[in-house]
Structures are given as C-alpha cells and as structure tokens.
Amino acid sequence: MQQEISLLTPYKDAIQFAQELLSLPVYNVQDITKNIHERTIRRRIKKLEELGLAKYSRGKFTIKRVVSQPIFVLEQLIPSFTAFVRARRFGKFYRQTDINFMLKNLPQNSIITLDYSAFELTQFQLVREFFVYVDDVEKTAKFLKKNNFREGTRGNVVLLPKTGSFTNKIERIFLDCIAKGGRSTMDAIAIQLKYKNKITIPARFTTEMILKVQEDLSP
C-alpha cells in the first residue's frame, strides 16, 4: 500500500483540483483563471495528463470521470494508469481476426485484461478490443510487425507493460476497468456484483449505473 501512496503523492494537488471542478464535458482554462492562476492550472493539467486523466488542446481540456473516485481507490489505480499511458496499439485487418491471431500467439506469462477478460468473467459486454500485459512489449511489438500488423491509434490489439500486482487477477481486471473508464466502468460494476468476495477495494459508482448493470445482468 505504501508504494501506491508514494506514487500518487506527486499528483495529489492535480487530483484535488480536478475533483473540485464542476462536472462538465469540456473545461475552458479562461473560465477557471478567476480563482486560480493560469500557470497553476496548466501545471495541474499536465500532471493529470501524465496519468492519462486529462487531455488539453487550445485552452480547453477534458477530465476522465474516474478522477472522482476516492483517493484510496485512485492509489490502487496507479499501476493501471501507468500501463495505459504506455500502451501500444496494433492492427492488421482491424477486426476480430486480429484478436484471434493474438489469442493463438500469446507470449509466455502474458495476462489478458479489460474487454476480453471482463466478458469471460461476466458475459456482460461484447469484446471490442484486446488488451494484454506482456513481459517484453518491444519483443511482442516486433513479432506483430513481422506478421504485418501496423502500429497506430486504430489498432484493436493493445500491448501493456506489466505494472503493479497481479496476485488477485479478478481484482486487477476490476481495477483496470475502473481506470479505463467509459464502457469499461460498466464491466467493473458487473465484476463487482458477480465477484464480491474477490473485490477488496470499495470503488464508488452511481446508483443509476449499478441498477442499470443489475438489470442487464438479470436472466
């Protein structure tokens, strides 16, 4: 636990800044400078970008909803954030065939997470992308390129460097889903509902989202 706290320390001011903002799809820096100096705002946005929690462009920025999780949850998400920022995407046909190829050629000791693993655990949402932790990202990337995969933002095969603990794999997939946000948040809720005994981190979700997932999971 102490390791995650020390890793989060450089980002605490930035996270507090983000948590204190009203929930909006897009923020304008000029609207916030009434209370905080612009340099301070830009510095905090930059720290959030280091964790993949914010995107800045031309005086405007967005913040991922996951930043609203309690600090003790965010501490546990640092390994996931770090891995996602360093992720590398690859594609060949940009269809299920790419995922099938990766499944047949998984590197030794690789660990699948997010979409594919979440579906295996919950049968909740269909797989869109294939995320896998590997020991050597560069070696796996070279293998994919040798088999005519191209690296780019459209790729549906995503290589992640191993960071943090994988002792409790179900909980790690759960935390990865929270960290990724978007539709993966629903996967996280489904995992929490189905595997309560495996989840030790009490993440926060809206009642509306929980009820929606419960309804969709019902036979």
Domain harbouring 37, CATH code: 1.10.10
Check whether residue 123 and residue 156 sit in a common domain.
Answer: yes
25/101 same-domain check: no
Return the H-helix or E-strand segment holding 101: helix 96-104
Place of tokens 């997010």: 114
Are residues 182 and 152 both part of a single domain? Answer: yes
Q: How far is Cα of residue 34 from the mean position of the Cα atoms in its chain?
A: 32
* 50 and 88 together in one domain: no
Tokens coding 212? 């929606």
Same domain, 49 and 82: no
What long-range pairs does 204-211 form, CB within 8 A, spacing at least 24?
204/68, 204/69, 204/70, 204/73, 209/185
Give me Rg for the CA atoms of the chain. Answer: 18
Domain boundary among 68, 89, 113: 68
Round to whole Å and give the CA distance between 44 and 198.
35
- Nearest C-alpha neighbor of 114 from the set 167, 165, 190: 190
Give every CB contact of residue 169 below 8 A, 6+ residues apart in sequence: 111
- Do 59 and 126 lie in one domain? The reply is no
pLDDT for 163 = 96
Residue 2: what pLDDT?
A: 46
**Are 197 and 89 contained in the same domain?**
yes
Contact 166, 133 (CB under 8 A): yes
Sheet of 27-28: strand order equals 27-28, 60-63, 54-57
Low-confidence ranges of the chain (pLDDT < 70): 1-6
127 shares a domain with 58: no
Which of 68, 98, 114 is a domain's end point? Answer: 68
What's the whole-model pTM score?
0.92
Rounded distance, CA 170 to CA 172, Å? 5
Cβ-contact 115, 128 below 8 angstroms: yes
Same domain, 28 and 97: no
Residue 14's domain spans which residues? 2-68
Same domain, 13 and 119: no
Total domain count, the chain: 2
**Residue 49 burial (CB < 10 Å; 0-12/13-18/19+)?**
middle
User: Is 169 found in the same domain as 64?
Assistant: no
Residues 79, 170, single domain; the answer is yes
**Which tokens is 190 given?**
């489904």
Please give the pLDDT value at position 6. Answer: 61
Which of 42, 68, 94 represents a domain boundary (last residue)? 68
H or E stretch covering 161: strand 157-161
